[in-house]
Amino acid sequence: EDQVTQSPEALRLQEGESSSLNCSYTVSGLRGLFWYRQDPGKGPEFLFTLYSAGEEKEKERLKATLTKKESFLHITAPKPEDSATYLCAVRVTGGGNKLTFGTGTQLKVEL
């Protein structure tokens, strides 16, 4: 069974304090790993897609990386507006375009 595990469940940072969120996966064959941001009461917002180990993508203060077992979302010098839940999802071989989601990391950035 395909599994996606995100850690930590919750993370509290001071403004400017860089950190990383983890998404580990156990799948039969990875066809894509997706990162989303979700604000309370809203739909997830697409951030990145990664396809192969070693791939990296950046957007503003966020950088996503991928290995054969896990992905990291690095947040550099975060601001309060980066506070949200970050979701990781995988698409696997034979799964069509179905995404399997982790339970998310709730990030709070304080002044």
Partner 1 sequence: DGGITQSPKYLFRKEGQNVTLSCEQNLNHDAMYWYRQDPGQGLRLIYYSQIVNDFQKGDIAEGYSVSREKKESFPLTVTSAQKNPTAFYLCASSIGTAGYEQYFGPGTRLTVT
Residues at the site binding partner 1, with contacts judged by CB under 8 A: 4, 31-32, 34, 36, 41-46, 49, 87, 89, 91, 96-104
Length of the chain as a residue count: 111
**Shortest separation between residue 15's beta carbon and partner 1, angstroms:** 28
Least Cβ distance, residue 100 to partner 1 (angstroms): 7
Nearer to partner 1, 14 or 97 (CB): 97
Task: Considering the complex, state which of residue 36 and residue 72 has its C-beta at the smaller distance from partner 1.
Answer: 36
CA distance between the termini of the chain: 41
Cβ-based neighbour number of residue 29 at 10 Å: 10
Helix, coil or strand: residue 27: coil
CA nearest to 78, candidates 109, 103, 50, 107:
109
Number of alpha carbons in the 13 Å side-chain half-sphere of residue 93: 5
Shortest CB 57 distance to partner 1, Å: 12
* Closer to partner 1 by Cβ: residue 12 or 98: 98
